Amino acid sequence: MILTVTLNLALDVTYQVPDVDWDGVNRVSAVHRRAGGKGVNVARVLAALGQDVLVTGLAGGPTGQAVEEDLRSAGLPSALTGIAGDSRTTLAVSEHQGASGRTALFNEPGPEVTPAELASFLRRYESLLDGAGAVVISGSLPRGVPLDTYATLAAIAAEANVPAIVDADGEPLRHAPKGRPSVVKPNAEELARAVPGGTPAESAHELRSQGAGAVVVSMGSDGLLAVTGEGTFRARMPYTVRGNPTGAGDSLVAGLALGLVESAPWPERLRRAAALGAAAVAAPVAGDFDPDVYADIHPQITIT
């Protein structure tokens, strides 16, 4: 079983619009509403790949209830800790015609979490690690949660001999290596904010020196950079997939998590992860991926 942690769960709303007029009225051609947050998206991809998953995190209020109902309807097992505050909604406005194919994201900050609520979650999290093959800790932190919480969660997993992947930004990313996660997965911009002034490879080496087992940097159409204990690898894409990039990083993380539980060689992990990320761009909603794009691009990715 792969456990995914989403402390800032959300109800993701996606508007598909032919061409966005930012100064006028827009007619929405399709609306998608589903449980979201980065860990939920990871779980959806893993479930589609036939893996047993368990979603955990914090949920509260009417929005939290809607999230739980959608997880049940999607057949995604969950063990959520209730909070008093209302969970957040996110909005993606995605153009599906025209030359740009742009997507704009609007992310609410999330509820205020009390120390008692967080302590309750931590107790449950520790018990859920029993039987987990890996844990994915990802996304933003809701208000009231300490910035080093992902380091704490990774350290608890390490004590339980469960490999952890952390996908975060800002201060949570800077603190994460202290928890000795197996993999830290920033994108290029997140890495530059966390460790400014160096090349991506230099910054990734710095995070490894602080405790991360490996650092995998997603670089969009430039593929992946992985700095690991076995060496440095690059995954290069044969072509650029156009579409909605929301959730592409989560699909990529799902591939890395699968590689962890299978103990796959790094080239194989990176090829699958990069292919899943690209295939997610071709899908209209975060948490999905296009299997035809995956099958086409996977054998064409080069690893050096």
- Distant-in-sequence, close-in-space partners of 243: CB < 8 Å, separation ≥ 6: 101, 281, 282, 283, 284
Helix 266-281, helix 248-262: angle, nearest 10: 150
Active site residue 86: no
Cα–Cα dist 85/220, whole Å: 35
| Active-site position among 167, 250, 288, 290 | 250
Q: What does the block give as tokens for 111?
A: 């509820």
Q: What does the block give as tokens for 82?
A: 């209730």
Question: What is the identity of the amino acid at 287?
Answer: G
Nearest to 89 by CA among 36, 138, 140: 36
Helix 38-48, helix 248-262: angle, nearest 10: 60
Asked if 167 and 216 touch (Cβ cutoff 8 Å), the reply is no
Half-sphere exposure (Cβ direction) of 65: Cα atoms closer than 13 Å = 3
Residues annotated catalytic, as ranges: 250
